[in-house]
Amino acid sequence: MGPACEGFLKKSFYSLDFKQLEMELSPSAAAILFNHHYKKRIQEQDYKDVSKEALSYIKENYCFKLPVIDKVVESEDRTVKFLIELADGSKVESVLIPFQNKYSLCLSSQVGCAMNCSFCFTGTQGLKRNLKVEEIIGQFLLAHQWLRENRAGDERILNLVFMGQGEPLHNFDAVKTACDIFLSKYGASIGHQKITISTSGYLPGLKRWSKEIPGVNLALSLHSPFSQKRDELIPINKKYPLEEVLKTIENIPLARKQFITYEYLLIKDFNDSEEDARKTGELLKGKTAYINLIPFNPFPGSAFKRPELKITERFKEVLDEYQIPTLIRVVKGDDVLAACGQLNSSPS
Ligand code: SAH
Ligand code: SF4
């Protein structure tokens, strides 16, 4: 089992955003700690310039334990999948996806997921529990530490995407605090545009988004413009229909040059026809939209299949006619079940 913070006496340092820490310590001590743990990413508490009193307060009141890496699988394309063990023995996965000389880190937000999408390996697990802030932050720190130890000099994590296990908007508070910590200029200082939260369209979370999530990117898993097909893929579409989801998204203020990403999972002979593409084009035409086409990634026991490349390319050509920027997502890490929707950490 991963180490736990002892009893209720200590709180995890990694659960606190800058404002909370500055209220408990002083603004200068909070800045030193954020810099030490999140910018320099040092785990030991050997701070410089922190008074003796502050240091003993920190050691008495905060716990610095992180989850542990249980298993690492490296793919031929340099994708790295981590199986991470939490204090209660639950496991989640995070994935480092290489591009140029940098990485995107795909983060999990829950153990399992309640949404039960028919095409998703995680969905077959059901929801076990929400991740705590420190367990989300822990994925980032552990991935960085692993890179430092195993791929020295090649350790830049540039983007964070909440596209691992779980529905991030179903664990809104923890995901929001984790974003605040990632964004803090005193710490990791990751740019707003470098963080993306992907949602299946969980409306209660989306309604809180514009007021509470500080300007990071949003991706909606669309997968079909037709309600009946979307119902089959994403069961919560029956409760929170696409029209309402799109209306809510349209009211989210966007920064200059910011887009909403619409992810479209392409499944052979299910939602990959010209008619599907045209309806999608009509639905998104004129919106500040960017479409990511994701060829279906098979997993053990899945009934769906991935379409051939020429079908995927044809789908993109149709969307091009509607002048919506569209990208076919290159599949990475699928040889080690680390691609989107292939994450499943239930005991086998
Ligand atoms: N719960 C969130 C984020 C995690 S899933 C969401 O659903 O958006 C991240 C992305 O992977 C989503 O777009 C999801 O639809 C996609 N995905 C799930 N299963 C997949 C599979 N088998 N193949 C390809 N993409 C998949
Ligand atoms: Fe959950 Fe997203 Fe998988 Fe659906 S696709 S079951 S929302 S993780």
Helices and strands: H and E segment counts in the chain: 10, 14
231, 116 contact by CB (below 8 A) = no
Q: Which of 121, 242, 302, 340 for mutating ligand 1's site (highest number of atoms within 8 Å of CB)?
A: 340
Distance CA 15, CA 244 (A): 33
Distance CA 125, CA 91 (A): 12
* pLDDT confidence of residue 4: 67
Binding site membership of 117 for ligand 2 (Cβ less than 6 Å): yes
Catalytic site residue from 22, 93, 135, 263:
93
115 pocket-lining for ligand 2 (C-beta < 6 Å): yes
Supply 339's token pair: 């691609």
Q: Phi and psi at residue 190, in whole multiples of 5°?
A: -80, 135
| pLDDT given for residue 244 in this prediction | 97
The predicted structure's pLDDT at residue 1: 62
- pLDDT of 348: 46
Please tell me the distance between residue 341's alpha carbon and the centre of ligand 1 in angstroms.
5
**258, exposed or middle or buried, with CB in 10 Å at 0-12, 13-18, 19+?**
middle
Q: Is the CB of 112 under 6 A from ligand 2?
A: no
Q: What percentage of the chain carries pLDDT values higher than 90?
A: 77
CB atoms within 10 A of CB 151: 15
Q: Please say whether the beta carbons of 170 and 211 come within 8 A.
A: no
pLDDT digits (tens, 9 = 90+) for 93-110: 999 999 888 999 999 999
Which amino acid, 82? F
Nearest CA, atom 9, ligand 1 = 163
Q: Which CATH superfamily is domain 68-336 in?
A: Aldolase class I (3.20.20.70)
Half-sphere exposure (Cβ direction) of 205: Cα atoms closer than 13 Å: 19
Do 203 and 244 meet the contact criterion of CB atoms below 8 Å apart? yes
Q: Convert 5-48 into a string of H (helix), E (strand) and C (coil).
A: CCCCCCEEHHHCCHHHHHHHCCHHHHHHHHHHHHHCCCCCCCCC
Q: Locate 230 and state its tokens.
A: 């979307």
CB 227 within 8 A of CB 234: no
Query: Rounded distance, CA 232 to CA 230, Å?
Result: 5
The answer to whether residue 232 is catalytic is: no
Q: Is 93 a catalytic residue?
A: yes
- Measure CA 26 to chain center: 31
Residue 49: how many other CB atoms lie within 10 Å = 9
Ligand 2: which residue has its CA nearest to atom 8?
A: 166
pLDDT means per 10 residues, the chain with 348 residues, are 67 97 94 96 89 91 96 92 96 92 94 94 88 98 95 88 96 98 96 96 95 91 98 98 96 90 97 98 94 91 92 97 92 61 56
Give the whole-angstrom CA distance, residue 11 versus residue 64.
9
Q: What is the pLDDT of residue 344?
A: 63
- Going from the Cα of 196 to the center of ligand 2, the distance in angstroms, rounded, reads 15
Residue spans per domain, the chain: 11-63, 68-336
pTM for the whole thing? 0.94
* 3-state SS class at 292: strand
Atom of ligand 2 nearest to the CA of 120: 3
Give the total residue count for the chain. Answer: 348
Alpha helices in the chain (DSSP H): 18-24, 27-34, 52-61, 133-150, 172-183, 203-212, 227-233, 242-250, 274-284, 309-321
- 264 pocket-lining for ligand 1 (C-beta < 6 Å): no
- Which pLDDT score is estimated for 334? 62
Token digits of residue 186: 């005193």
**Strand 260-266 vs strand 289-295: parallel, antiparallel, or unpaired?**
parallel
The number of the ligand 2 atom at minimal distance from the alpha carbon of 110 is 8
Our answer on whether the CB atom of 120 is closer than 6 Å to any ligand 2 atom is yes
- CB contact at 8 A, 80 and 104: no
Q: What are residue 12's phi and psi, to 5 degrees?
A: -70, 130
296 lines ligand 1 (CB under 6 A): yes
Could you read off the pLDDT of 183-207 as tens digits, one per residue? Answer: 999 999 999 999 999 999 999 999 9
The residue whose CA has the least distance to atom 6 of ligand 2 is 123
Distance 144 CA to ligand 2 centre (A): 26
Q: Are 227 and 241 in contact (CB under 8 A)?
A: yes
Question: Are residues 86 and 134 in contact, defined by beta-carbon separation less than 8 angstroms?
Answer: no
